[in-house]
Amino acid sequence: MADKIKLTKAGKEELEKELRYLIDEAREEVKRQLAEARAQGDLSENADYDAARNRQAEVEGRIKEIEDILSNSELISDEKSSKKKGDKVALGSTVTIRFLETGKEEKYMIVGTVESDPFSNKISNACPLGEALIGKAVGEVVDVKAKKNYKVEVVKIGA
């Protein structure tokens, strides 16, 4: 059996919200678009009908994807999400690191792959940096194996 997909409480809520939107609103909008396109007559050369069918496939595919994620997910416990200073970095931890080459500090939240959003400083536990940080404590220097290896120091664990 495949490993469970790790989700934070917020990540699960976001997926459930998207699922509700897709089922309650997007699916109904697609039905309306299909009905309007059918009313135009000949479907063989109807671009509106083709576009509505493509949108229907996208919506239904995403619904199935979210349902699969939710049915095969494991919630990261609040205990892991609220790590106290001095503990080790774990899935759900917020960690501040210092890049040794530049001295720049950044704060990241370690999340499962489904929730990963580097632009919001949410990094996956499977990416090189996230993988290297798991299990480390404040003060530890970590070698990150990436295309260009680099070192970071764990400055703080927690908000």
Domain around 143: 78-157
What is the C-alpha to C-alpha distance for residues 141 and 19, in angstroms, rounded to an integer?
A: 41
Model confidence, pTM: 0.72
- Predicted confidence (pLDDT) per residue in 31-77, tens digit: 999 998 888 877 777 888 889 999 999 999 999 999 999 999 988 76
Tell me: do 50 and 112 sit in the same domain: no
What are the pLDDT digits (tens) for 115-128?
Answer: 999 999 999 998 99
Count how many domains the chain has.
Answer: 2
Condensed to tens digits (0 to 9), the pLDDT of residues 101-111 reads 999 999 999 99
Supply the CATH number for residue 18's domain. 1.10.287.180
Query: What pLDDT score does 91 carry?
Result: 87
Mean pLDDT value of segment 134-147:
93
Does residue 104 share a domain with residue 59? Answer: no
| DSSP 8-state assignment for residue 117 | B
Domain boundary among 29, 44, 75: 75
What is the pLDDT at residue 2? 63
Domain boundary residue among 44, 60, 75?
A: 75
Quote the CA–CA distance of 108 and 93 in Å, as a whole number. 8
